[in-house]
Structure 1
Amino acid sequence: MIHQTDYCILGAGLAGLSLADALQQQDFSVVLIDKNDIAAGASGTPGGLVNLATGRRATKVWKAEQCYEAITQNLSKVQAVTDKPFYQKSGLLRPALLKKMARKMSDRYANTPWPNGWCQWKSEGEIKEMHPGIQCVDGGLWLPIGLSVDVGAYLRGYAHLLSQLGVQIHTNQQAEIATADTGWQLAFEDTTVRAQHIVYATGGSTTESEYWDWLPLHYIKGQVALFSTGDRPLSFSHSISSLGYMAQTNKPNTFVQGSTYEHDFTHLNPDKEGEEYLRQRMRRTLPQLEEEVETVGQWAGVRTSTPNRKPILGRHPEHPNMHVFTGLGSKGLLYSKFLADHYVDYLTDGDALFPDVDIARIGN
């Protein structure tokens, strides 16, 4: 069987599915291939946040307004055709744990132009009233617009929607890639895909390709754990960002705690050391809760990071019909849809890429 297509995308995570969506909206034919399953890599985390104030100083993220609009619209679009809810606008609490941290967060907040209603500074007393038992020194931030998302469920729903719209998706297939007269040829089992363009959206395996082994990607293993309070309802309905994060899930009395940041790792599986690390983090923020919860699941994935902590988008310097979309890091959920749309605007209208994400910033 032979398929002719405009674009063949490798990788069915946040980057690959978002780009497939943006391309098919512009009437390009798209085939998507993943060597594993939908959301099998770092994109498949069972719990993630749309957090617009990150880092120790709670810095407003790059292109926050555009990214937030893009992901909220997309979550709503996918949820409309998915039976089970996979996200909620739970709000996000960011307590300061040290006086120095509170001072830096407060200064950054005071000097940041936040849209009306997006972000509020709360006193220590106000935060402890919002969440009894939480550790907090001198205040913190409350972001009512924060979202908690079962990212794996979102992507499986997204893939189903794209299939209905005409995107051909092949999973658990390792394709052999070769050049062809009109672009690229990808062969697996009894199928051959002939594509004018090929896009690598392969996350943690990007530099395994000889075409992209020069990219300055750094790989970070992240583990998360699912905790349950058993028969007792959770005492909070919002998510928390403090020494990692706690994200609401759609399972009763259950939340996700993440994440470890393992730069030197020897295996890709969740382990006991990861669980204990996450419990230690929880203990610093909510000591009483940590004593009460039971671990009911663990997950691990490998994220890609870049020197400026921004994704990499662009054409291969020697193969203009070969592209890459990688390096989403811990903000993949927030960046993916906005940057996919941005890249398709670049491909179709000739819009310049943002310098912060343009592959041109990197020499090979």
Structure 2
Amino acid sequence: MAEITDKERTELLYTKLKQVREEVGKVVIGQEYMFNRLLLGLFTNGHILLEGVPGLAKTLMVNTLAKVLHLDFNRIQFTPDLLPADLIGTMIYNQAKSDFEVKKGPIFANLILADEVNRSPAKVQAALLESMQERQVTIGETTFKLDSPFLVLATQNPVDQEGTYPLPEAQMDRFMMKVHVDYLDKESELEVMRRMSNMNFRYEPKTILDKGDIALIRNEINKVNMSESLEKYIIELVFASRRPKEYGLNDEAEYIQYGASTRASINLNLASKFIAFSNQRDYVLPEDVKSVAYDVLNHRIILNYEAEADGVTTRQIIESILRKVTIGKV
């Protein structure tokens, strides 16, 4: 059999991605925005933090995506009494062998749903942090590499709810994106109601991609071209959050306590390339950067108490930055 060309391979990957969307859509109604952000995180090696009310099919979405992509999936319910060992595993004594052996925890999977992550104390959050950043965990004196791909999808309760432990800025920064998940529209909710009220409804999604395909897609995304002017545009957006007065954002400067970190620049670059690839382009447009700017920046720009008192939101700050910083001025 003749070897396929690079163009044919890319077209095949596009076709498979379309099939992934269709297959997930047979199980999960609506929530296309969440689905697209999950794919973005998976194919750019970035973790996603979801914030929204319960009952929006987050678990179903991740579980279905894992099946379609032939990946291992674990859901971990974070609670105030959760221990680091419950997450990463521990050493147990084997009486038959008269020796200690490692019992691995649920973190050893490709897709992790960390449900209500801010209900766990700091020690558990720190254990999760190592796995997210280093793609490894340490049990006893042994360090274990996590399988690739490895994606943490965390859900967060509003921080004003009782029994929550706000995630520190250092851990928030490890998430590529913070995505707000909203309710379905009327038509989608009607379809969900009809489907779920049918107790005989069963559908087992088919496997479309595997780990090899995911590696190929990541390689294709890495080939997407970004012009130097767009690279500088990303840097200007991030610096505008740090030094707003230099960009004519005098009013906004009064509300910003901390600007975005260097990870914001990296993740804006990666996310923009995925958007371009998903639109079957091998080059990035300014619109690609703008389309991911809010989700990449909203948890990295920290506002002060004056902003809260005046009702100023991070979205408003980011919108002001996008208006002031234009590609033509870079």
Q: Name the TM-score, length of structure 1 as normaliser.
A: 0.21
TM-score (norm 2): 0.23
Q: Pick the structure with more strand per residue.
A: 1
Q: Which has the higher contact order (CA 8 A, sep 6+)?
A: 1
